[in-house]
Amino acid sequence: MKHAIDIAAAVNAKESSASAELATSLAVIAEKNEAINAFLFVDTDGAKSFAATVDERIAKGEQLPLAGVPVAIKDNLCQTGVPTTCSSKILADWRPPYTATVVERLIAAGAIPVGKTNLDEFAMGSSTETSAFGPTKNPLDLSRVPGGSSGGSAAAVAAEMTPISLGSDTGGSIRQPAALCGLVGIKPTYGLVSRYGLIAFASSLDQVGPFAKTVTDAALVLEVIAGHDPMDSTSLPEPAPSLVAHVNDGVVGKRIALVKELYEGADEEVVASVKNAVAALEAAGATIIELSIPELRLGLSAYYLIAPAEASSNLARYDGVRFGLREEGDDVTEMYEATRTAGFGAEVKRRIMLGTYALSAGYFDAYYGQALKVRTQMIKAFAKAYEQADMLIGATTPTVAFEFGSKTSNPMAMYLSDVFTIPTNLAGDAAVSVPFGTGENNLPIGVQILGPGRSEATLLAAARVLEIADGRA
């Protein structure tokens, strides 16, 4: 499949049409989705209507940044009248009455939403194995996971069903599957992208971001979806940054820190890729330093108190009364219990229980309160690191894509898949995962570049240097 920027150029120049580009995308989905299970719902009629509208706009002389580009939408982002399930039985038949701001912005820019992609239930997982509708398979090796929780969105792009997709990142749920599927994935600065219409997991951590095969495509999508939204009280009060214009700025004169805590414990081949990436950045003109940020070792523990605590609050709304699944009971308490027992999967129940316990009267200060203090220390540690370096570099994941079932019986082993990505979410900063090198079975390795808030342009320029050095340009 062509890159998004090339599709848009061809459609804008009337060398192709949105309807033709959509037809190509739908044909690939029809051919591959049964084996991969990336899409839970393909909105064929809706997509054809969007494509026809784009062709009309182009015929009238409009130029659109994403003209005719098919896009896959993670199924925790609302779209009017389109099933939005969060891969949970509790929302299996729900169709929202409103559309997420990011989806509206894609449509306004000429993109064509083709359907909703699979995820770990309520975005709680690192492998897309907790979905109530079956796992998504990694298109690069069907015996392995695509990562999670945005595994469907990553697989859709990796399988060339669509050139771009949207995911959400609460503790690494864009960057980790991007690494395992050989894609570029961006976790934007908290507040840069609207969360309006994103079904909440952990509200202080969630961010929407893009998957793409190239840095330029990812930058283009982020430019379209970013910027202030009055519907989101946490939205930064500023316009979207200019990103595509800066992807080739390079790294000359930039200070990049290799952070020990962002690669120690990773597989040998992953560590080798990170060090090769550092060498490539140095060869491109960056100054490399080495840093230790010991506070990052506390990230996993803090995250698995803060995120479940917020989830236990956010998921209280699924009670069988207002919308979604409802199971009958003799009284309201029995109805609540029956609905939530039938509607939620094991991992969601585990995290609700963790969060409820951490917020309970006798344990609030010892657990949740302590985790918030750790989060503050981590924010300060990152800020101090960014006084010494413009950006940080490390591994995105400790391993390449792992086999189905290899970690499902051990939740802690699964949680450790996000050990390098979680700190950025706790700090609210920006990070990009870019493919660099391969490991076991020739599977891709992701290198992570981290920066302070609003540093996306700088990070994408560094990612572009690595993309060229890895021969992907």
Active-site hit among 87, 153, 173, 312:
173
Can 173 be counted among the known catalytic residues? yes
What's the gap between Cα 354 and its chain centre?
23
Q: Which residues contact 361 (CB under 8 A, 6 or more apart)?
A: none
- Helical residues (DSSP H) of 123-214, grouped into ranges: 151-158, 175-181
With beta carbons less than 8 A apart as the criterion, state whether 388 and 257 touch.
yes
How many Å apart are CA 261 and CA 463, to the nearest integer? 20
Q: Which of 16, 17, 25, 74 is catalytic?
A: 74
When computed from its CA atoms, the radius of gyration of the chain, rounded to whole angstroms, is 21
What CA–CA distance (Å, rounded) separates 343 from 315?
A: 11
CA–CA separation, 117 and 135 (whole Å): 11
Catalytic entry in 16, 17, 25, 149: 149
- As a whole number of angstroms, the distance between CA 235 and CA 226 comes to 9
End-to-end C-alpha distance for the chain, whole angstroms:
15
- At 370, which helix (H) or strand (E)? helix 370-388
Number of H helices, E strands in the chain: 15, 11
**Distance (Å, whole) CA 414 – CA 313:** 23
Question: Is 143 marked active-site?
Answer: no
Residues taking part in catalysis: 74, 149, 173
